[in-house]
């Protein structure tokens, strides 16, 4: 065995690397003398300045030793970048919710929403604003065809999509083909389930073969990815009909993309918020009955708040992200934006299941029955105990208590900063980052280069503590509720992986409206959806429509 005593760290690591290369390739390497020496172009003052970021000081002798090791590390960084020139690669130590997965039980999905038996409305406009559950009944009872339904939504997308700046690509040929197939199958008695023949829109960070996938920014305008994302595959198996690719804020931030700022259908002077900007705007405007969004930190619930629709962020790992733009491999989640909570349950159910192409995805059960009341459900209230939505939840049978928000340490934003900068390292280096003018990602990606790796790892350790703190805070409750999107909880519950649903509540006397969000323990979306459903059946806010004549 080679004796590494007396060698510098650089020489020892180089001997390991080159020894492994030789052993694996059959190539004979004479020894370290044939390896080019490290480039010692960093000064001690530069290293001293970088150490200062972490509040550290070192002697000149210590810095000189580090300088030689860093030179070797930099050569390794180059090799790693070359080896990871595949956007689909994510770390194998992807985040998993601590202590939960093994307790879930067998993979079983069984969703039974409320029974509805609507008659076909007289106008296409009225049809456009029906729920997924209601449209499914029209299709099953042959009061409308999938082709007829697709044409209603395609026409509305053509009329309003560009006005709202929510439409990126109309997938008309695909939609008509899928709808015709759905009609043939339904006519033959082959019924795939509640989404069979239902149109939908998908956020334009998901790859769909034959169509551009442009991630909202000029830097990737015209990009075509020759594969179908897992979400599209799942929805196609369910018989759903893809009518459009919808806008997102550039690289999944805010509501500005290369086409402009996506509009809130309720107020043309406002953007729709983001980053699932087009998914929320199109659903609110009746351009699709449901849409698919993604969330890293608020990107489903925030535009749902602005556009007055129901947005569901499932537990982390529930839905495969294969074929979707990755912003943060340990935080990104896929979820539906719909009119009602039960519609969201139907969509979510169709998307669940382990996918070997997404290391974070798991098989997890999801069973839901439409409830009549909330007896036996204990809900923690964050904020005003006398809020109208809280009183309504209590009147429906829930028991209420005070929820104490765990305090998170500062610095956890390092996690999303480092992971997003890693995913877009290539455009930071090749100059395409300068084309991202729609928002502040360039500054974030550059600043993240100065977050030391040790501090990033410390943030991940603090994240484990944060999950434990939330687990303790949730222990006595089935659900937690708060006003709007409950801003103080958004980033932290995205870090911990907890599910959230945003629920529009009531119009106010100022032309706006009130809403609330429910949070559940991991994998307990059914309880969250049940509480949202009973409130929505009381208020029927989902029946209200924006005035598109003002757009």
pTM: 0.91
- CA-nearest of 208, 211, 186 to 196 is 186
Q: Given this model, what pLDDT does residue 268 score?
A: 96
Task: With a cut of 80, say whether residue 11 has pLDDT above it.
Answer: no
Q: What is the pLDDT of residues 89-129, one digit of tens each?
A: 878 767 777 666 667 888 999 999 999 999 999 999 999 99
- CA-nearest of 179, 166, 317 to 255 is 166
DSSP string of 28-76, one letter each residue: ----GGGSPPP-----HHHHHHHHHHTT----HHHHHHHHHHHHHHHHH
> How many other C-beta atoms are found inside a 10 Å radius of the C-beta of residue 458?
15
In the chain, the percentage of residues whose pLDDT exceeds 70 is: 92
What is the C-alpha to C-alpha distance for residues 411 and 430, in angstroms, rounded to an integer?
A: 29
Q: What is the pLDDT of residues 374-416, one digit of tens each?
A: 999 999 999 999 999 999 999 999 999 999 999 999 999 999 9
DSSP string of 506-551, one letter each residue: EE-TTS-EEEEEEEESTT-HHHHHHHHHHHHHHH-GGG----GGG-
Q: Given this model, what pLDDT does residue 550 score?
A: 92
Query: Which pLDDT band holds residue 22 (cuts at 50, 70, 90)?
Result: very low
Q: Residue 422 is inside which H or E element, if any?
A: helix 413-423
Q: What is the pLDDT of residues 434-448, one digit of tens each?
A: 999 999 999 999 999
Q: What is the pLDDT of residues 45-99, one digit of tens each?
A: 999 999 999 999 999 999 999 998 998 888 888 888 888 888 778 787 677 776 6
What is the C-alpha to C-alpha distance for residues 241 and 183, in angstroms, rounded to an integer?
A: 11
Give the catalytic positions in this structure: 203, 275, 299
Longest dimension (CA), the chain: 87
Mean pLDDT of 21-35: 37
What is the C-alpha to C-alpha distance for residues 196 and 139, in angstroms, rounded to an integer?
A: 8
Task: With a cut of 70, say whether residue 133 has pLDDT above it.
Answer: yes
Q: Given this model, what pLDDT does residue 96 score?
A: 75
In the chain, the percentage of residues whose pLDDT exceeds 90 is: 85
DSSP 433: G
Q: Residue 21 is inside which H or E element, if any?
A: helix 9-25
- Residue 40's Cβ-count burial label (10 Å; 0-12, 13-18, 19+) is exposed
Query: 99 — alpha (psi -120 to 50), left (phi > 0) or beta?
Result: left
Task: With a cut of 80, say whether residue 17 has pLDDT above it.
Answer: no
Contact 178, 238 (CB under 8 A): no
Q: Given this model, what pLDDT does residue 486 score?
A: 98
In the chain the domains, ranked by start, together with CATH numbers, are: 9-83 (no CATH), 101-408+454-550 (3.90.1300.10)
Q: What is the pLDDT of residues 526-549, one digit of tens each?
A: 999 999 999 999 999 999 999 999
Q: Given this model, what pLDDT does residue 233 score?
A: 98
Task: With a cut of 60, say whether residue 5 has pLDDT above it.
Answer: no
Q: Given this model, what pLDDT does residue 284 score?
A: 98
Q: Which two tokens stand for residue 92?
A: 């194998």
């Amino acid at each position: 065995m080679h004796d590494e005593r007396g060698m510098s760290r650089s020489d020892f690591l180089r001997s390991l690397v080159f020894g492994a290369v030789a052993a694996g390739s059959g190539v004979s390497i004479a020894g370290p003398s044939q390896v080019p020496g490290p480039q010692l172009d960093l000064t001690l003052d530069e290293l001293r300045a970088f150490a200062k970021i972490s509040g550290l000081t070192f002697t000149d002798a210590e810095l000189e030793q580090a300088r030689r090791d860093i030179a070797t590390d930099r050569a390794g960084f180059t090799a790693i970048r070359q080896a990871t020139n595949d956007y689909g690669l994510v770390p194998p130590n992807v985040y998993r919710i601590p202590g939960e997965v093994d307790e879930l039980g067998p993979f079983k999905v069984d969703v039974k929403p409320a029974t509805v038996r609507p008659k076909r409305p007289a106008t296409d406009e009225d049809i456009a604003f029906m729920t997924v559950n209601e449209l499914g009944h029209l299709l099953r009872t042959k009061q409308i065809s999938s082709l007829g339904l697709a044409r209603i939504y395609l026409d509305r997308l053509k009329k309003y999509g560009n006005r709202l700046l929510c439409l990126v690509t109309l997938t008309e040929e695909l939609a008509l083909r899928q709808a015709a197939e759905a009609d043939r199958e339904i006519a033959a008695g082959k019924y795939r389930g509640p989404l069979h023949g239902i149109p939908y829109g998908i956020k334009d960070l998901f790859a769909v073969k034959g169509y551009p996938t442009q991630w909202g920014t000029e830097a990737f305008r015209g990009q075509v990815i020759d594969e179908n994302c897992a979400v599209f595959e799942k929805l196609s198996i369910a018989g759903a009909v893809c009518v459009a690719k919808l806008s997102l804020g550039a690289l999944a931030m805010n509501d500005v993309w290369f086409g402009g700022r996506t509009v809130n259908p309720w107020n043309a002077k406002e953007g729709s918020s983001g980053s699932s900007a087009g998914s929320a705007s199109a659903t609110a405007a009746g351009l699709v009955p449901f849409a698919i969004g993604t969330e890293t930190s608020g990107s489903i619930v925030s535009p749902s708040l602005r556009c007055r629709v129901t947005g569901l962020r499932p537990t982390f790992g529930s839905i495969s992200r294969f074929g979707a733009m990755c912003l943060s491999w340990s935080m990104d989640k896929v979820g539906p934006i719909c009119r009602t909570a039960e519609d969201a349950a139907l969509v979510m159910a169709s998307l669940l299941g382990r996918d070997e192409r997404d290391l974070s995805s798991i098989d997890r059960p999801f069973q839901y029955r439409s409830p009549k009341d909330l007896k036996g459900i204990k809900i923690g209230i964050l904020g005003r105990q006398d809020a109208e939505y809280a009183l309504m939840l209590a009147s429906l049978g829930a028991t209420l208590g005070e929820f104490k928000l765990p305090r998170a340490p500062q610095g956890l934003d390092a996690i999303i900063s480092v992971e997003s900068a890693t995913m877009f390292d290539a455009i930071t280096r090749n100059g395409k980052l300068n084309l991202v003018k729609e928002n502040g990602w360039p500054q974030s990606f550059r600043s993240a280069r100065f977050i030391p790796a040790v501090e990033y790892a410390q943030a991940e350790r603090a994240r484990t503590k944060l999950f434990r703190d939330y687990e303790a805070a949730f222990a006595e409750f089935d659900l937690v509720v708060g006003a709007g999107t409950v801003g103080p909880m958004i980033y932290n519950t995205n870090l911990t992986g907890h599910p959230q649903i945003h629920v529009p509540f009531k119009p106010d006397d100022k032309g706006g409206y009130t809403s609330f969000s429910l949070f559940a323990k991991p994998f307990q979306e059914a309880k969250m959806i049940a509480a949202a459903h009973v409130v929505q059946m009381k208020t029927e806010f989902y029946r209200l429509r924006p005035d598109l004549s003002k757009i």
